[in-house]
Amino acid sequence: MRGRILGFGAATGATPHAWLLSQRLSLAEELLETTSLPIEQIADRVGYRSAAVFREQFAARRGVAPRDYRRSFSRTALPPCSVAAASSPPCGRPVLHASSQR
């Protein structure tokens, strides 16, 4: 197992956990910029069980709260995906899930 983790680090420059967190936050940035989805739905779609933990992680690593990031970087917002589609990949957007968070 250790060899696989070291190989992952050599290939990505990060631990698996750090890589996953980075991927989640990058997708969250995209959703904040391009949709009007509520923060709670974005948190869920990028793999956080708690919007509070998502807000904390986003602010700690991006230096700004998700709400303020959206205000600064929002592009022409797309309409939010329907709530009914929340159980499947939303509007063709990827959904990241992992068994453990933080």
Q: What is the CATH number of domain 20-79+93-102?
A: 1.10.10.60
Residue 97 is predicted with a pLDDT of 57
Check pLDDT > 50 for residue 86: no
What is the average pLDDT across 60-64?
97
Check pLDDT > 70 for residue 59: yes
Residue 52 is predicted with a pLDDT of 98
Using alpha carbons, list the distances in angstroms from residue 42 to 5, 11, 16, 79: 29, 28, 22, 13
Boundaries of every domain in the chain: 20-79+93-102
2-22: per-residue pLDDT in tens?
A: 666 667 777 778 888 899 999
pTM, rounded to two decimals: 0.67
Can you tell me the distance from the alpha carbon of 43 to that of 41, in angstroms, rounded to the nearest whole number? Answer: 5
Residue 75 is predicted with a pLDDT of 84
What is the average pLDDT across 53-65?
97
DSSP state of 26: H
21-37: per-residue pLDDT in tens?
A: 999 999 999 999 999 99
| Bridge partner list, 35 | 78
What is the average pLDDT across 41-69?
97
